[in-house]
Amino acid sequence: MLKDAQGLEVSTNSHEAVDAISSFTNQALSYGKEALNVVKQGLVFDPTCAMLHAYAAAYFLSQENQQAKKQAVPHLRTAIKYSGNVTEREKLYIQAISAWATKKIDVAIALHETITDKYPRDLVSVQQGQYHYFYLGDKQRLLNIAQKVLPQNEDNHFLYGMLAFGLEQCHQLDQAEAMGRMATSYNRHDPWAHHAVAHVMETQGRIDEGIAWMESLADTWVSCNSMLYTHNWWHIALYYIERGDYLHVLQLYDTHVWGRARKDSPKDQVGAISLLLRLELRGVDVSQYWQSLAVYLLPRLHEHALPFQDLHYVYALTRAGYTDWANEMRLSMHEHALSLSPNQRRQWLEVAIPAARGLVAYANGEYLNAFINLKPVLLRLHEIGGSHAQRALFEQVYRSAMHRVRSGRDAINRVLIMIHPRKSKVIF
Ligand SMILES: [Fe+2]
């Protein structure tokens, strides 16, 4: 049986199809923009290759929007159709992608764990497992799934990048930086390793170092998909926000973030929204930016791919003046919550939906309302997914609302004390 570049057996007689699988692995691990193209090229040589169809399905599912999800379905069906005589690993992988497609994330995770226990060289499965753990906010298992396959992959810098991100998420910052730097020293073209180090430097407030690190590697990101290209530049923009260079942040927004985004991509949309909101929190007027972004959010209203993404959308829709869409989305979030399993339902009803209320209130300038809705969910934000850097945004909104409420209260108190020096005081 033929083997791919990782030494994993592949059920096909076509060398070109196997080459395509090796290329897909490289594209997936390097967040390359040719991932789908290499799969398509492989399918020309073997349209019955179950694994190539499963990778195509995984690619479309990772786009996290309904249209792409529909495109995943025929590939998944074909993968299942031709899975009769494939290897155990391939069968497990196809089952994992099927579980993902039907939102059985716990099942998908269990399958990726089994694959990586039995076939530790399958780094696409490690990456897939980390993806699910990331959105579940399960940072420890995100790290564990990479750590357990290290002995079999000491030659692979991409695994070091995955480890670096897991270590960073678990606040093991020194080890994370060392691992990310080591990956980059083996191969400069490892954008996920760059990203992990960027997180460390941001957490430690090493702004100038962060800019120097990321800008020195940015030339390698031209081969990245728009998700990581725009996200790595988003991290650079965050540093410039910390420096107070807001004009440069807006230039980056126009050139490397929203300017280079796939306008229909949820991840790219979330990054751009997050950047504008962070600028607003610093008092920068970005009101003219919201409409040109929010007009692309209509397909998101009933999608509910990830709760933390929905929080961004409702904020952007409200700021853009699309109040009807924002209301429709919040109603839809509620209906979606009721359709979920008890655990997931609790996350939506007790965390995501109150947080959405708080963000809409903040967008409308109703700071007391924002404060009241955000305060109870702060300690549970990790349940709705996203990285520390991404979730920190909601804490910043909360703090801003609290500050504005207190400022307003103090101003009212000053007036009341002038009118009734002894009796009056507003307390909340
Ligand atoms: Fe990040």
Say which CATH number the domain at 97 has: 1.25.40
Distance 283 CA to ligand 1 centre (A): 23
| pLDDT of 132 above 90 | yes
Question: How far apart are alpha carbons 6 and 3 in whole angstroms?
Answer: 8
- 237 contacts: CB under 8 Å, gap ≥ 6: 249, 252, 253, 256, 257, 275
Q: What is the tens place of the pLDDT at every residue in 192-203?
A: 999 999 999 999
Q: Are 267 and 147 part of one and the same domain? A: no
Distance 310 CA to ligand 1 centre (A): 18
Distance 231 CA to ligand 1 centre (A): 6
Distance 382 CA to ligand 1 centre (A): 15
Q: Residue 103: which pLDDT band, with cuts at 50, 70 and 90?
A: confident
Contact 37, 27 (CB under 8 A): no
Which of 111, 128, 153 is the C-terminal boundary of a domain? 153
Over residues 304-333, the mean pLDDT reads: 95
| pLDDT of 419 above 90 | no
What is the structure's pLDDT at 413?
Answer: 63
Contact 428, 404 (CB under 8 A): no
Is 137 within the bounds of a domain? Answer: yes
Q: What is the tens place of the pLDDT at every residue in 34-70?
A: 999 999 999 999 999 999 999 999 999 999 888 899 9
What is the structure's pLDDT at 421?
Answer: 60
- 166 contacts: CB under 8 Å, gap ≥ 6: 130, 139, 142, 143, 144, 145, 146, 147, 176
Over residues 218-239, the mean pLDDT reads: 97
Q: What backbone phi and psi angles, to 5 degrees, belong to 9?
A: -70, 140
Distance 149 CA to ligand 1 centre (A): 23
Over residues 239-248, the mean pLDDT reads: 97
Contact 89, 98 (CB under 8 A): no
Q: Are 141 and 3 part of one and the same domain? A: yes
For residue 402, the enclosing domain spans: 263-428
Contact 194, 184 (CB under 8 A): yes
Over residues 355-377, the mean pLDDT reads: 95
**Residue for token pair 């019955």:** 48
What is the structure's pLDDT at 88?
Answer: 98
Q: Are 138 and 276 part of one and the same domain? A: no
Q: Are 22 and 141 part of one and the same domain? A: yes
What is the structure's pLDDT at 412?
Answer: 64
Is 178 within the bounds of a domain? Answer: no
| pLDDT of 305 above 90 | no
Token output for 305: 């791919």
**Residue for token pair 């780094």:** 123
Q: How far apart are the first and last CA of the chain?
A: 71
Contact 205, 180 (CB under 8 A): no
Higher pLDDT, 320 or 428: 320
| pLDDT of 428 above 50 | no
What is the structure's pLDDT at 140?
Answer: 96
Is 250 within the bounds of a domain? Answer: no
| pLDDT of 424 above 60 | no
Of 166-180, 219-233, 381-395, least confident by mean pLDDT is 381-395
Distance 195 CA to ligand 1 centre (A): 6
Distance 165 CA to ligand 1 centre (A): 9
Distance 199 CA to ligand 1 centre (A): 6
Higher pLDDT, 396 or 391: 396
Which of 153, 185, 209 is the C-terminal boundary of a domain? 153
Which of 153, 174, 194 is the C-terminal boundary of a domain? 153
Of 219-228, 328-337, 351-360, 384-393, least confident by mean pLDDT is 384-393
Is 201 within the bounds of a domain? Answer: no
Find the Cα–Cα–Cα–Cα dihedral 148, 110, 173, 216, rounded to 10°.
90
Is 332 within the bounds of a domain? Answer: yes
Number of domains in the chain: 2
Distance 424 CA to ligand 1 centre (A): 48
Determine what percent of the chain is predicted with pLDDT higher than 70. Answer: 95
Distance 387 CA to ligand 1 centre (A): 6
Is 192 within the bounds of a domain? Answer: no
What is the structure's pLDDT at 376?
Answer: 93
What is the structure's pLDDT at 96?
Answer: 98
Distance 329 CA to ligand 1 centre (A): 26
Over residues 108-133, the mean pLDDT reads: 98
Contact 278, 270 (CB under 8 A): no
Q: Are 140 and 268 part of one and the same domain? A: no
Q: Are 12 and 143 part of one and the same domain? A: yes
**Residue for token pair 């939102």:** 103
Is 107 within the bounds of a domain? Answer: yes
Distance 335 CA to ligand 1 centre (A): 30
Distance 235 CA to ligand 1 centre (A): 7
Distance 390 CA to ligand 1 centre (A): 7
Distance 6 CA to ligand 1 centre (A): 27
Is 320 within the bounds of a domain? Answer: yes
Q: What is the tens place of the pLDDT at every residue in 133-150?
A: 998 889 999 999 999 999
What is the structure's pLDDT at 214?
Answer: 98
Distance 296 CA to ligand 1 centre (A): 23
| pLDDT of 289 above 90 | yes
Q: Residue 381: which pLDDT band, with cuts at 50, 70 and 90?
A: confident
Distance 340 CA to ligand 1 centre (A): 28
What is the structure's pLDDT at 427?
Answer: 46
Q: What backbone phi and psi angles, to 5 degrees, belong to 224?
A: -80, 155
Q: Are 292 and 422 part of one and the same domain? A: yes
